[in-house]
Structure 1
Amino acid sequence: MGVAGSVVPVGPRWQRVRQIARAAAIGTGATAAAVVATGGVLLGQARQARRTIPMAEAPPPRCDGVYGAKLPGPPLTMVILGDSSAASYGVHRRRETLGALLATGLSRRLRRQVRLHRFAVVGSLSAGLKPQVESALEHGPDIAVILIGGNDVTNRTPPGLAVRYLVDAVRALRAAGCEVVVGTCPDLGAIQPIQPPLRWLARRWSRQLAAAQTVAVVEAGGWTVSLGDLLGPRFAAEPTRMFAWDRFHPSAEGYAVAAAALLPTVISALGASQDRRPVLGRGEGVRSLPQAAQEAARHAGTEVSGTQVRGRDRGPAGRWAQLRRRAFFGVGAVPQPGTAADSPTLEGTA
């Protein structure tokens, strides 16, 4: 019995989501056979990876506050939800966190104050998004950034179930008038302590979940950015620079790269893009949503959003989606001491 079919609602607009999630479930069944065949090797590798990757110690630095406090006008409110990657585990300074980098970049680009609240929790599964969303909605957010999925892969959460929790979160935020950008599941096959063949399975599971997340989030009215291996060529070439001390989470430079991938989509989701009718580059354009999701899962830094063709949301293959491979701007490097990101006006003292 397929897992996806038992946890995702029925109805025409969910058919593609179910297909992607079912494919992930089928893939899991196929890989289960491989696990049986090579079980001793995989179990040994999993134990070795857990020994090699240290457990979380000190919590990541808080980044809540008002960025660009001297700028005129009321602030935009941004919330950061998700797991350790959203919380920026692995860095030690506020200015190095993903939230601070995004808030600083957004404030500078829009010339507006940005009030940031971080509710992401280290170790969170998609099932943990509900209390984060409930806390976030108390602050009336304009934009939410969610990074989730890695722990669902490592804990083997059924893809359909993980996607259902994410969709519930996106829908609740959208119902409150909040725009939502989701950084989809990272490619755990890029993690150095995980060796083949476990690395190959981790990559497959990660991409399956990322594709299913993309379909579901866009159907629910959100935007997605494929984080993949966090723009892997640099991570593969310079792992000691791009990964933190635990060789699992990004370093300060790694989070800067991730923020640079997310920032253009955050701006577009807010309707503030100056390029509303962009000239599309090679490999970009309109696809069916399932096709766009599969392409995005293979290419980190790819944005997927809903669009129309001849005034219609849907075609023969389902929801129309626009796929863009964003040029990164705004947060290419870690801010230096004394910048807005280093010393925001802290909550409770503004």
Structure 2
Amino acid sequence: STAAGQGVRRAGQTPGALLASGLAAVAERPVDLRNVALPGARSDDLERQVSLLLADPARTPDVCVIMIGANDVTHRMPATQSVRCLTTAVRRLRTAGAEVVVGTCPDLGTIEPVYQPLRWLARRVSRQLAAAQTIGTVEQGGRTVSLGDLLGPEFAANPRELFGPDNYHPSAEGYATAAMAVLPTLCAVLGLWPESDRLDGSRREDILPVAKAASQAAREAGTEVTGARAPWALLKHRRRRRLPASAQTEPAPSSHPDAAHGHT
């Protein structure tokens, strides 16, 4: 639902459109967006989505954004199955030559209709899945961005602004917050972000074992994890920038497809 932008009124407010517009602004060139997300889908739908994207070898995307996990938690899909589906999708995309950025499972403990102790349990399960998703994605050559701890405090502090009318799916402002978290990594994976991959100790960036990096990322706001030499991973906190005003417009086609697919 996140990648599909369920609940917003205009296509330009969906995360895919926001990311494509932001990427176009940074790259200073048009971006072709293909969105194969399906509201309500779980990780086992990624096989279908990836097959759609790779059906035409001449149109293999340069980069794919996957946002997945929340429906897996709410439908009690076993984490092992969820992660297996995700890692298979990442491996297929990487083998085809596409870069992959995964927005990991959001923090379901921020949803207003969920009360304690279920809220505590939802937060715990969400973080565990996000950490497992990070490990699986990095092992397949992708990068992850933690959505859980980035959106959690902001959604908890501003539930009326960042949640939609159903108090479950994000509002347009909530989707923009998620897009701003993912955009720096999306640009960096294409070599377009004006920051190097050099670690900055002042921002608590580090090189850690993959499992430890995944666990820490699941607890910290907007943390990017990317693979280094096994079994190590880079833990980064890229500076977020506001999306350009043009992010509300539809992206124009070009030779740089940005495929946003999968969802939470």
TM-score (norm 1): 0.69
Q: Give the match for residue 301 of structure 1.
A: 222
Q: Which amino acid aligns with 1:136?
A: L
User: Is residue 234 of structure 2 the alignment partner of residue 322 of structure 1?
Assistant: yes
Q: Give the match for residue 59 of structure 1.
A: none
Tell whether the 8 Å contact from 1:226 to 1:301 is kept in structure 2 after alignment: yes
Quick one: structure 1 residues 154 and 277, their matched pair in 2 at CA, closer, same or farther if it must change by over 3 Å?
A: closer
Tell whether the 8 Å contact from 1:292 to 1:323 is kept in structure 2 after alignment: yes
Residue of structure 2 aligned with 1:119, choices 16, 24, 36: 36
Q: How does 1:77-96 map to 2 (within 5 A)?
A: 84-96=1-13
Tell whether the 8 Å contact from 1:91 to 1:252 is kept in structure 2 after alignment: yes
Q: Give the number of equivalent residue pairs.
A: 250
Distance 2:196 2:251 in 1: 31
Q: How far 1:345 moved relative to its partner?
A: 4.3
Residue of structure 2 aligned with 1:228, choices 148, 155, 172: 148
Spell out, residue by residue over 1:191-241, the C-alpha distance to the aligned partner (whole angstroms, 9 max, x if none): 110000011111111111000000010000000000005432221111100
Residue of structure 1 aligned with 2:48, choices 126, 131, 141: 131
User: Is residue 195 of structure 2 the alignment partner of residue 288 of structure 1?
Assistant: no
Q: Give the match for residue 44 of structure 1.
A: none
User: Is residue 175 of structure 2 the alignment partner of residue 263 of structure 1?
Assistant: no
Q: Give the match for residue 123 of structure 2.
A: 203
Q: Which amino acid aligns with 2:47?
A: K
SS at match of 2:203: coil
Q: How does 1:15-164 map to 2 (within 5 A)?
A: 84-137=1-54, 138=56, 139-164=59-84
Q: Give the match for residue 342 of structure 1.
A: 249
Tell whether the 8 Å contact from 2:30 to 2:253 is kept in structure 1 after alignment: no
Greater shift after overlay, 162-171 or 221-230? 221-230
TM-score (norm 2): 0.90
Distance 1:246 1:343 in 2: 26
Distance 2:71 2:10 in 1: 24
Q: How far 1:326 moved relative to its partner?
A: 2.1
User: Is residue 132 of structure 2 the alignment partner of residue 212 of structure 1?
Assistant: yes
Residue of structure 1 aligned with 2:112, choices 178, 192, 208: 192
Q: How does 1:241-280 map to 2 (within 5 A)?
A: 241-278=161-198, 280=200
Q: How far 1:299 moved relative to its partner?
A: 1.2
Q: How far 1:121 moved relative to its partner?
A: 0.5
Q: Greater Rg, structure 1 or structure 2?
A: 1
Tell whether the 8 Å contact from 1:109 to 1:330 is kept in structure 2 after alignment: no
Quick one: structure 1 residues 290 and 343, their matched pair in 2 at CA, closer, same or farther if it must change by over 3 Å?
A: closer
Quick one: structure 1 residues 225 and 343, their matched pair in 2 at CA, closer, same or farther if it must change by over 3 Å?
A: closer
Quick one: structure 1 residues 132 and 326, their matched pair in 2 at CA, closer, same or farther if it must change by over 3 Å?
A: same
Q: Which amino acid aligns with 2:78?
A: P
Quick one: structure 1 residues 277 and 240, their matched pair in 2 at CA, closer, same or farther if it must change by over 3 Å?
A: closer
Unmatched runs of 5 consecutive residues or more in structure 2: 255-264
Tell whether the 8 Å contact from 1:190 to 1:229 is kept in structure 2 after alignment: no
Relative CO higher for 1 or 2, CA cutoff 8 Å, sep ≥ 6? 2
